[in-house]
Amino acid sequence: MSSPKIVLYTNRTCPWAHRAHIVLQELGLPFQEVTIDLDTPREPWYLEVNPRGLVPSLSYNGEVITESGIVAQFLADAYPSHLVPPSNTPEGALQRARIAFFVDTYSSKAAPHYNAALRGATEADRKAGVESYVAAIKKEIEPLLYQGLEGKQHGPFFGGSDKLTLVEVLLGSFLIRLHAFADKEADLIDPAIWEGLAEAKNFSRWAQATREHPSVNGIFDAKACADRTKKKLLANRK
């Protein structure tokens, strides 16, 4: 079987595009990388690839797949691995349901507060976002990470896995930015967030293991992402 021709249209500062890099790295798939400038209007040729003009877009043997979650799921399904079990058994289907529920919970219950902590119009709004994010992590995320594994030895990733799962593929780019943006030098998210998150021991262990994994941090340039984010935020606030 010949290797597929994979072309990834991306921008390494984009957390959504970062998802595609994580899954491609973890699966060990060779690909061609094409960088799309996100700070200028999209060129006509790229709008032919993806009419929405977003990244990532994945060309797989000439078939274009868009939207980061769909790209990641497609690759995880096309190349069975430790990331996600097959769905043709009740156990595999159940684990997929757990993965989907966890990602949805983070995206709907915690992520909006992270966005407020980062993008709030006033300092008070951003502080309220930090407090709400910490509360959501403690209430919604902390209990789900190692459910049923209390007192047992297990790996640091979702469900006690020793290896990355699709959960870390889909959320790793946001966890690593949380850590980078809450650094005092970045000055993007109030560092006081760490005081609250320290009490969420499951989350802290999981987030640290995720952001330190080579597939997650391999392309991440903390300064470049922080500088671009700060520039966009300042422009929006004006």
Q: Supply 16's token pair.
A: 């959504």
Q: Is 173 exposed, middle or buried (0-12, 13-18, 19+ CB in 10 A)?
A: buried
Task: State which amino acid sits at residue 211.
Answer: R
The domains located in the chain, with CATH, are: 4-76 (3.40.30.10), 88-234 (1.20.1050.10)
The kind and range of the H/E element at 23 are helix 15-27
For every one of its 238 residues, what pLDDT tens digit does the chain have, with 9 covering 90 and above?
Answer: 468 999 999 999 999 999 999 999 999 999 999 999 999 999 999 999 999 999 999 999 999 999 999 999 999 999 999 999 999 999 999 999 999 999 999 999 999 999 999 999 999 999 999 999 999 999 999 999 998 898 888 999 999 999 999 999 999 999 999 999 999 899 999 999 999 999 999 999 999 999 999 999 999 999 999 999 999 887 776 5
Give residue-wise pLDDT tens across range 164-179. 999 999 999 999 999 9
- List the strands of the sheet with 32-35, edge to edge: 32-35, 6-10, 57-60, 63-66
CA angle 227, 114, 39 (to 5 degrees): 35
CA distance 71 to 74: 5
Q: How far apart are alpha carbons 122 and 158 in whole angstroms? A: 35
pLDDT in tens, 59-83: 999 999 999 999 999 999 999 999 9
Token pair of 99 as six digits: 């993965």
Q: Which amino acid is at 87?
A: S
Distance (Å, whole) CA 125 – CA 203: 24
Length of the chain: 238
Two tokens at 128? 């309220």
Distance in angstroms (rounded) separating the CA atoms of residues 171 and 210:
9
| Helical (H) or strand (E) element with 197 | helix 193-197
Q: Which of 60, 82, 79, 68 is nearest to 10 (CA)?
A: 68
Q: Output helix, strand, coil percentages for the chain, rounded to the nearest 5.
A: 60, 10, 35
User: Is the separation of the CB atoms in 111 and 133 below 8 Å?
Assistant: no
Q: How far apart are CA 154 and CA 48, in angstroms?
A: 46
SS3 8: strand
Which alpha helices (H) appear in 137-165, and where do they start and end? Answer: 142-145
